[in-house]
Amino acid sequence: MPEALLADFLAFTLAGEAPAVTAGEAAVGVQWRWLGAGLLALAPAALADDAPRIVLSAGVHGDETAPVELLNVLAQDIAAGKAALQAHLLIVLGNVAAMQAGCRYLDDDLNRLFGGVHLSVPNSTEAGRAAELEACVARFFEAGPGARWHLDLHTAIRPSVFERFALLPQREAAYGADVFAWLGAFGIEAVLMHRTGSATFSHYCSHAHGALACTLELGKVMPFGQNDLSRFAAAASGLRRLIAGAAPADGTTPPRCFDVVGQLDKRSDAFKLLIGDDVANFTPYAQGTPIARDGEQVWTVQHAEERIVFPNAKVKVGLRAGLLVAELPVV
Ligand SMILES: [Zn+2]
């Protein structure tokens, strides 16, 4: 049973199985612990408690399959000794029920339920999972004093001017050059700097646990088995360097940085995108361009140029229907 779990954690998880034995040591001296559906901790047997603690998550949106496959291959390679590990690693396959159903979520977007927001929707299928993930990462991070990381891997629904981009949660302290070097090493072309809090998984790990946390958008959604993982090669090799305790590769291009300058909040069913429903992420618009309308409220471009990210008029009333971002000057 443990062999099946380590050989194909994704298949094991999708089958809804629970192992008879929940912890052990793989052939190469890597200790593993199964912590619940889609939750697998890995660490070298002799690793110090103060080694880095890294959470890698994927499938928080159940239909975003490529990063899930990427983490599955990573877990296989660690267990087989083909990928070096010098960290306490927690692999999280986020919304297992939605992954099994082949959809983004069942009742509520899991990535809008963290930081306790799940308490406000107790009957939602996703509420229990959000609570379980919060408890699991809390135990994982609090088990030692090492540097804390959380990288939440996603793929976008729509095409993007920048194929790979990252969202950094709002926090008091500025992000250091090392963060941008790592994002460049993951193949990230653009970074969004959030200026307000949100109920995402990465924001929760940043605020509740002081983790260096980031949401990575690595390409476009495809069904399981139809992903070209070579398009995710930069992210995969960057993650392997990170968990191996190496430095980011030299010679990578640092990402362009964008500030979130506006948020399109859907307040009623009258909400309408005035730029059409199928524009690419990061499409630029000039000052004065009307972007969206909700009854009397109209959002227009305030800066010389702003770009639209995650436009989606179909979200539930009360949720974010898009972000407007402006490029930050290079420092
Ligand atoms: Zn996503």
Q: What is the pLDDT of residues 220-248, one digit of tens each?
A: 777 777 777 778 889 999 999 999 999 99
User: In which band, very low, low, confident or very high, does the pLDDT at 4 lie, cut at 50, 70 and 90?
Assistant: confident
Query: Ramachandran region of residue 16, left (φ > 0), alpha (ψ -120 to 50) or beta?
Result: left
CA of 158 to the centre of ligand 1 (A): 11
CA angle 21, 26, 32 (to 5 degrees): 55
CA of 102 to the centre of ligand 1 (A): 14
Which of 217, 305, 306, 327 is the catalytic position?
217
CA of 94 to the centre of ligand 1 (A): 11
Write the DSSP symbol of residue 61: S
Please report, rounded to a whole number, the percentage of residues in the chain having pLDDT higher than 70: 99
Task: Compute the distance between CA of residue 93 and CA of residue 50 in angstroms, rounded to an integer.
Answer: 25
CA of 64 to the centre of ligand 1 (A): 6
CA of 154 to the centre of ligand 1 (A): 4
Task: Compute the distance between CA of residue 272 and CA of residue 262 in angstroms, rounded to an integer.
Answer: 16
Task: Compute the distance between CA of residue 118 and CA of residue 110 in angstroms, rounded to an integer.
Answer: 9
Task: Compute the distance between CA of residue 292 and CA of residue 307 in angstroms, rounded to an integer.
Answer: 13
Are 179 and 157 within 8 A, CB to CB? no
| Top CATH class, 265-327 | mainly beta
Mean pLDDT on 109-133: 97
User: Residue 19, SS3?
Assistant: coil
CA of 81 to the centre of ligand 1 (A): 30
Task: Compute the distance between CA of residue 39 and CA of residue 94 in angstroms, rounded to an integer.
Answer: 8
CA of 308 to the centre of ligand 1 (A): 16
Task: Compute the distance between CA of residue 44 and CA of residue 88 in angstroms, rounded to an integer.
Answer: 8
Please report, rounded to a whole number, the percentage of residues in the chain having pLDDT higher than 90: 85
Domain ranges of the chain: 2-243, 265-327
| Amino acid of residue 248 | P
Mean pLDDT on 168-196: 94
User: In which band, very low, low, confident or very high, does the pLDDT at 1 lie, cut at 50, 70 and 90?
Assistant: very low
User: Residue 42, SS3?
Assistant: strand
Residue 217 designated active-site: yes
Tokens of 257: 């940085």
Average pLDDT, the chain: 94
Q: What are phi and psi of 237, to 5 degrees?
A: -70, -35
CA of 288 to the centre of ligand 1 (A): 30
Please give the CATH architecture assigned to the domain spanning 2-243: 3-Layer(aba) Sandwich (3.40)
CA of 49 to the centre of ligand 1 (A): 32
Identify the pLDDT of residue 223: 74
The answer for residues whose C-beta is within 8 angstroms of residue 38's C-beta and 6 or more apart is: 13, 59, 92, 93, 94, 96, 99
Are 238 and 249 within 8 A, CB to CB? yes
Q: Say how many C-beta atoms besides its own lie within 10 A of residue 172's C-beta.
A: 5
pLDDT at 157 over 80: no
User: In which band, very low, low, confident or very high, does the pLDDT at 2 lie, cut at 50, 70 and 90?
Assistant: low
pLDDT tens string 49-78 = 999 999 999 999 999 999 999 999 999 999
The answer for residues whose C-beta is within 8 angstroms of residue 203's C-beta and 6 or more apart is: 114, 115, 169, 170, 194, 197, 213
Identify the pLDDT of residue 296: 93
CA of 63 to the centre of ligand 1 (A): 8
278 compared with 136, residue with greater pLDDT: 136
Identify the pLDDT of residue 329: 74
Strands (E), the chain: 23-25, 30-36, 39-44, 53-58, 88-93, 148-156, 165-168, 190-193, 212-220, 256-265, 272-273, 283-286, 290-294, 297-300, 305-309, 320-327
pLDDT at 100 over 90: yes
Identify the pLDDT of residue 158: 84
CA of 251 to the centre of ligand 1 (A): 29
